[in-house]
Structure 1
Amino acid sequence: MEKSRSTPQHASGLEALIARARAEAGEKGLPPVEKWNPDFCGDIEMEIRADGTWFYMGTPIGRQPLVRLFSTILRKDEDGRTYLVTPVEKVGIRVEDAPFLAVEMDVSGEGATQVLTFRTNVGDVVEAGPEHPLRFEIDEANGGLKPYLTVRGRLEALLARPVMYDLVARGEEMKIGVQKMFAVWSKGAIFPISPADDLEIFK
């Protein structure tokens, strides 16, 4: 879990941040947050929980359009922390796991021509492939599988459990190098899930 630092003392406040986010969202496509290099203004009391729920000062943000708005100005930097970024400020937030949750998967084709398309809880639609890879971890707490999808930049979506089971159902055993792996195809790329001998952990 990312650690919060100091609370920013800038005068703009949350409402001004929302206004700037709305102004940038008015442009065509997603705001170019990767190109912006504003000063760091400290942290705000905002957190994204592991289930995808956003909180501000301990209270859930119930307005989905506002959550979607904030999601468009998210950026994860090389320091491993996640920020809300506008052209004039960068503020840190806490992220318990991944900032997004993949809640739906569509499958077209099969084998090497298979394409896995995911929808996130904030409305992104992403095709897994070389530019948006899948990666897999084992949950240290319970030994379960945790799949992640790169959405944009360094930002990832954790696959919701039902989506994870759908994904595993599309997997197949194949030899990668000298090792027999359980893996899944998407857009011509192979994404290893685990050694084939470890398949029991998914049952």
Structure 2
Amino acid sequence: MPYDPPPEMQDLSLAEIAGLVAARKLPPVEQWSPAAESDSHMRIAADGRWYHQGGLISRPAMVRLFASVLRREEDGRHALVTPFEKQWIEVEDAPLLAVEVKSEGSGKQRRLAFRLNTDELAVCGADRPLILRGTPEEPRPYLGLWRGLEARIERSVYYDLVELALGDQGDDAADAAGLPIWSDGTCFRLDRIAAA
């Protein structure tokens, strides 16, 4: 089955992006509880590259396929899950990367959509939160996703978010302290590190 990547984000409205997100058909991995477990001999490096037995998985279609059955378990480990088997996978940081952001609106009316390195799209909001880890000097931003997964927001995309937040500073004097940014009715802070 050939893969047709989604259209470029700049050509889509946020409503169109939200429609694409709602229409995607991910496998019901969260419903599967296979008894068999094994090691996948796979690793996702901190830079988002996937490896199997030390060799780089260079085909984007294979990465998309594996990512479609990936979930994070309650103990924090990641697994590739089918109805018949769970295979553990080493994840150095976050399993996915947020490589592009699109914004519509401003202030409290803003909506943000992200493209992941697997070409999945995610609209940021209460169920897909922005999370800031690290230190104030070295912030590490993430986007919460489905099935307990997260995407690390690439540095250039984080800078785009900071620029948007700074542009909103005049919209609401009460928010002038710090770096709040809104998406889909939820306020996120780009200046507050999440508690560990």
* Fold similarity call, TM over 0.5: yes
* C-alpha displacement of 1:99: 0.4
- Give the Cα–Cα distance (whole angstroms) in 2 for the partners of residues 187 and 156 of structure 1: 18
- Give the Cα–Cα distance (whole angstroms) in 2 for the partners of residues 73 and 139 of structure 1: 32
- Give the Cα–Cα distance (whole angstroms) in 2 for the partners of residues 103 and 61 of structure 1: 19
SS at match of 1:181: coil
Point out where structure 2 has 5 or more consecutive residues left out of the alignment. 1-23
1:58-85 C-alpha deviation (Å, 9 max, x unpaired): 1100111011000000010101000000
The aligned residue for residue 111 of structure 2 is 115
Mark the CA change 1:164 to 1:40 in structure 2 (over 3 Å): closer, same or farther: farther
Match of 1:182 among 179, 186, 189: 179
Q: Confirm or deny: 8 A CA contact 1:55 1:61 kept in the other structure.
A: yes
Q: Confirm or deny: 8 A CA contact 2:29 2:81 kept in the other structure.
A: yes
Point out where structure 1 has 5 or more consecutive residues left out of the alignment. 1-27, 199-203
**The structure with more strand, counted as a fraction of residues:** 1
TM-score, structure 1 normalization: 0.76
Q: Does 1:157 align with 2:157?
A: no
- Give the Cα–Cα distance (whole angstroms) in 2 for the partners of residues 88 and 42 of structure 1: 11
The aligned residue for residue 98 of structure 1 is 94
1:31-81 C-alpha deviation (Å, 9 max, x unpaired): 000010002412121000111100000110011101100000001010100
Question: Which residue identity is paired with 2:79?
Answer: Y
Question: Which residue identity is paired with 1:77?
Answer: E
The aligned residue for residue 24 of structure 1 is none
SS at match of 1:131: coil
Match of 2:61 among 65, 75, 78: 65
TM-score, structure 2 normalization: 0.78
Larger Rg: 1
- Give the Cα–Cα distance (whole angstroms) in 2 for the partners of residues 148 and 35 of structure 1: 25
The aligned residue for residue 29 of structure 1 is 25
The aligned residue for residue 127 of structure 2 is 131
Question: Which residue identity is paired with 1:75?
Answer: R
SS at match of 2:190: strand
> Bigger relative contact order, structure 1 or 2, given CA contacts below 8 A and separation 6+?
2
* C-alpha displacement of 1:175: 5.0
Mark the CA change 1:107 to 1:35 in structure 2 (over 3 Å): closer, same or farther: same
Question: Which residue identity is paired with 2:25?
Answer: G
Match of 2:43 among 47, 57, 65: 47
* C-alpha displacement of 1:150: 1.2
- Give the Cα–Cα distance (whole angstroms) in 1 for the partners of residues 70 and 89 of structure 2: 9
Question: Which residue identity is paired with 1:182?
Answer: L
Q: Confirm or deny: 8 A CA contact 1:175 1:181 kept in the other structure.
A: no
The aligned residue for residue 22 of structure 1 is none
Q: Confirm or deny: 8 A CA contact 1:46 1:55 kept in the other structure.
A: yes
Q: How many residues align?
A: 165
- Give the Cα–Cα distance (whole angstroms) in 2 for the partners of residues 74 and 53 of structure 1: 15
